[in-house]
Amino acid sequence: MRSSVTEQDISQIPTHVAIIMDGNGRWAEQRNRPRLFGHKAGVDSVRAVVEAAREIGVRYLTLYAFSTENWQRPMQEVSGLMGLLKVYLQAELKTMLQNGVRLSCLGQQERLPDDVRQTLAMVMEQTACCRGMTLNLALSYGGRNEMMRAVRALARKCVAGELDWRRLDEEMLAAHLDTAGQPDPDLLIRTGGEHRLSNFLLWQASYSELYFTETMWPDFRKKEFLEALATYGRRQRRFGRTGAQLQG
C-alpha cells in the first residue's frame, strides 16, 4: 500500500489554489442524514484545508462556498448554509489573525443576508493587515455574472469619457474582476466526482491545472489536499508552448 503524501513530496507549491467543494449533500444522503449535516461536516474540511494551505505556503486560496445558482435551493438549505458561514467566520477570526490569513470575498455580497454581510465586513476589516495568505470566499458568485459586472463598469467609464474604448485590453478587464490584483489560480480542485467548472472563475482559470477527485468534500482533508498538490507538482505547465521550448 502506498503511504500518504507528506509536505516533502510536493515539488512546487502553487501560489493560488481554487476549490469547488462539491459532494456535501451526497455525503449526507449516503448516511441517511439531512443535507445540512453534510454542509456541517464540510465546514470541518474548510478548516482543515485552510490550515494546511497556510502551513504549506499557498498564498491565495479561493473556496466556492455559494454560487449564484445556489439561490434556487430549498430555502431551508440556503438559510442553513448562511448560518454555517456566519458561525464559521465568527469562530475563525482569532485563528485567522494568529495565522496571518486575510479574508476577501468574491461575488455579489449585496445579495447576502444583512447579518452575514456585517460579519463578513467585520472579518475582512480586521484581517485586512494579514499578509500570510488571502482566503477568498466566493459567495453568491458566478463567473459570467462577475464578467458582466466588469464589462458594465468598463462601459460606464467609456460612456463617461474616462476611458477610450481603444485602450481596452485583457489586463484592464482582469483589473475589474472581483479578483483584481490577485494572480490567476495555478491549481483548480473539484471534489465530489463531477468534471465541470460550474461557472467558477471562468476568466481566471484559463490556464489552471485541473484536478478532479471522487472524494466528497466532507472527506477531503489535509491528506487529500497534499495529494492534489503533489499531483500538481508533477504536471508540466506549457501555457501554449511546446515541451522543448520550455526546456531550452
CB of residue 238 to ligand FPP, shortest distance in Å: 31
9, 32, 70, 199: which one is catalytic?
A: 70
| Chain residues that interact with ligand FPP, rule: CB under 6 A | 21-26, 39, 42-43, 46, 63, 65, 70, 81, 84-85, 88, 137, 192, 217
Nearer to ligand FPP, 142 or 154 (CB): 142
Active-site residue flag, 44? no
Backbone angles phi, psi at 134, to 5 degrees: -100, 125
Q: At closest approach, how far in Å is the CB of 202 from ligand FPP?
A: 18
In the complex with ligand FPP, the residue whose CB is nearer, 16 or 190, is 190
Residues 119-127: contacts with CB within 8 Å, 24+ apart?
119/86, 119/89, 119/90, 120/89, 123/89, 123/92, 123/93, 123/96, 126/93, 126/97, 127/93, 127/96, 127/97, 127/101, 127/102, 127/103
With CB atoms as reference, the residue minimizing the distance to ligand FPP is: 25
Q: Match 466528497 to its residue by C-alpha cell.
A: 216
Closer of 9 and 219 to ligand FPP (Cβ) = 219
Please report how close the Cβ of residue 42 comes to ligand FPP at its closest, in angstroms: 3
Is 199 among the catalytic positions?
no
Residues 6+ apart with CB under 8 A from 135: 50, 61, 62, 63, 96, 101, 102, 103, 104
Q: Which residues are catalytic?
A: 22, 70
